[in-house]
Structure formats: structure tokens, C-alpha cells
Amino acid sequence: MSTQYECLKSADLYAEAFGIAPPETLLGKEVWPRQQGFFIRKAFVPGQPTPETGTEPTSEAGASAANISDAMTDPVPAPTSPLVMELAQGQFGLVPTWVKSASDAKLRSTKLAVTRYETMSTATPTRETWLNAQRCIIPMQAFIEDDWRNRKAVPTRIARVDGKPMGVAGLWERWTQDGEEIISYTLLTVNANSHALMNRYGQNGNEKRMPAILNEGAYGAWLTAPLEKAREFMRAYPTQLLLANPVQKK
């Protein structure tokens, strides 16, 4: 799938849609791999484990088949402590902690802007991040997909029908070496072969994929769910809630 998406069009939307403090300065309208973007994560609370000190890995239940249904009944576990979410900035394209240099990080990041949810817990670049529960939400106004039905790529803007921001499930990471730090994130995708809208996009013959768009009421639950429950949020967003329009060329 495409690795291009639009940021929220105004700072006020971060508070309105996600209940977090807006950024002091907006970034560019569109985000591509290696560029800076915003993501939302569970805020660090004094006394709790952080990615720097390490979290206790939790064993994970076996992966289940992707659920490509329009049901939007997300699991909402009982909270053990009040959730505080914060807006963070990082590079679009995950940099694993074991990467040896900043130059190597830049090369890998373009390939890790998007991650298949089916492999996030087993693939070497994302396994540690997944087990440490470093989940995030990527706020976006829309994402861009190429329509190849006429054998020519037609960039198409996919957004919510009501025009509201989308919160897409992702993973984030912190890479450090010799005093240098790179905060980064990756966008999670689900299978869309049976999706009435998204099965139109992507090159013919390839598996159809789409971002794992979260239900509005599930943002906090996605960030705090036990590891064995987190996969249950990975589902295709209902067709009737999305709108597709070809991108107007300037």
C-alpha cells in the first residue's frame, strides 16, 4: 500500500479528535518515509517501566486469521490506572534498536514505514517493539492510494466520509547510539482483499492492504490492552465510513 498520508489540517483537531494538547507548530501537509510526523503514545509515568529501562515481555497467544468484517465492536479492557496520552514527533519509518549506525537507520526506514500486522510479532525489525507494547496512534486526515484499474496509477485520496481525522494503529521506537537519538514509528496494515472499497487499490495481482484504522472509542484501549488482546484491534475499517476521490493535479 501507499506510504503517503496527510497530517491533520489544523492544530485544534488534535484536542478535538484525540483529547491531547495540540502541537505548537504544525508540520508539512503530507508525510512520506524519512520525514517527520506526529504520533500519539501512552505518556511516561514516573515509577512505571519505560522503553529505556525495559518492560517485561509478555508471552503472546498464537495469531488468528485477519477479520475483514465491518463489525466495530472493539475490546475495551478495564483500565488498571488512568491513561495519559501525549503527542510525540518522530521519523516515519521504524528504526530498530539494534541498527548499528544512523546511516543504516536511514536506509532501513523507508522499508519499515508500513508493517503487516500479521508479522509484527515475529519479524526481526518489530518483534522487540511489539513485545514492549510500544504501540501508538498515527493521526491523519487522509491517506493516498494508487488506483491501477485502468493500468495507470491514479493517486486517490482516502478519507472518512464525515471528514473527521483518523487514528491509525502503529508502533514506535527509540534508537540511541553515541549520544544520537532517533524517534521513529511505523504504520500497521491489515488485509483488504475482501474490502469493497480498498480492494480497488494497489497493483493488480498483489495482496490488497489498508491502514489499521481504529474505532474512535478504542484509542485508549489500543494503547493499554494486554498483549494477547491487542491483535483484536487489527481489522478493516467499514467501507461505508470511507470516501475515495482522485487527487486533483495542480
> What CATH number should be reported for the domain holding residue 17?
3.90.1680.10
Burial level of 210, CB count in 10 A (0-12/13-18/19+)?
A: buried
- Per-residue pLDDT for 45 more than 70? no
Domain span holding position 30: 5-44+75-246
Q: Cβ(68)–Cβ(191) under 8 Å?
A: yes
For the ranges 41-50, 115-124, 171-180, the lowest mean pLDDT is seen at 41-50
Provide CB contacts within 8 A for 152, sequence distance 6+.
none
Which stretches does DSSP call E strand in the chain? 5-6, 30-31, 36-42, 85-92, 114-116, 135-140, 142-147, 154-160, 166-177, 180-191, 209-211, 242-246
Say whether pLDDT at 231 is over 90: yes
Quick one: pLDDT band at residue 54, thresholds 50, 70, 90?
very low
Residue 159 pLDDT exceeds 50? yes
**What gap in Å lies between CA 206 and CA 222, rounded to an integer?**
29
The grid cell for 163 is 471528514
**At residue 67, does pLDDT exceed 80?**
no
Q: What is the mean pLDDT of residues 155-175?
A: 97
pLDDT score of 79: 46
Asked whether the predicted pLDDT for residue 21 surpasses 60, the reply is: yes
Tell me which DSSP letter residue 249 carries: P
Distance CA 56, CA 102 (A): 27
Backbone φ and ψ of 240, nearest 5°: -70, -10
Q: Does residue 233 or residue 44 have the better pLDDT? A: 233
Confidence of residue 2 (pLDDT cuts 50, 70, 90): confident
Q: Note whether residue 62 is domain-resident.
A: no
Average pLDDT on 77-103 reads 85
Pick from 11-15, 63-67, 162-166, 226-230: least confident:
63-67
Check if the beta carbon of residue 91 is closer than 8 Å to that of residue 35: yes
Give me the pLDDT at residue 46, please: 56
pLDDT value for 44: 75
User: pLDDT-based confidence at 61, cuts 50/70/90?
Assistant: very low
Q: Confirm whether 215 is domain-assigned.
A: yes
Task: Give this prediction's pTM.
Answer: 0.86
Residue 153, in any domain of the structure: yes
**How far is 195 from 244, CA to CA, in rounded Å?**
13
**Greater model confidence, 48 or 82:** 82
In angstroms, rounded to a whole number, what is the distance separating the alpha carbons of residues 154 and 133?
37
User: How many domains, in total, are found in the chain?
Assistant: 1
Q: Is residue 58 part of a domain?
A: no
Residue 142 lies in a domain: yes
Q: What is the mean pLDDT of residues 225-240?
A: 96
Q: Say yes or no to pLDDT of 236 above 70.
A: yes
* pLDDT above 80: residue 70: no
pLDDT number for residue 118: 97
pLDDT of residue 239: 97
Position 52 in a domain? no
Predicted confidence at residue 17, as pLDDT, reads: 96
68 within some domain: no
Task: Report residue 56's pLDDT band, with 50, 70 and 90 as the boundaries.
Answer: very low
In a domain, 63, yes or no: no
Spacing of C-alpha 216 from chain mean position: 14
- Euclidean distance between CA atoms 12 and 239, whole angstroms: 27
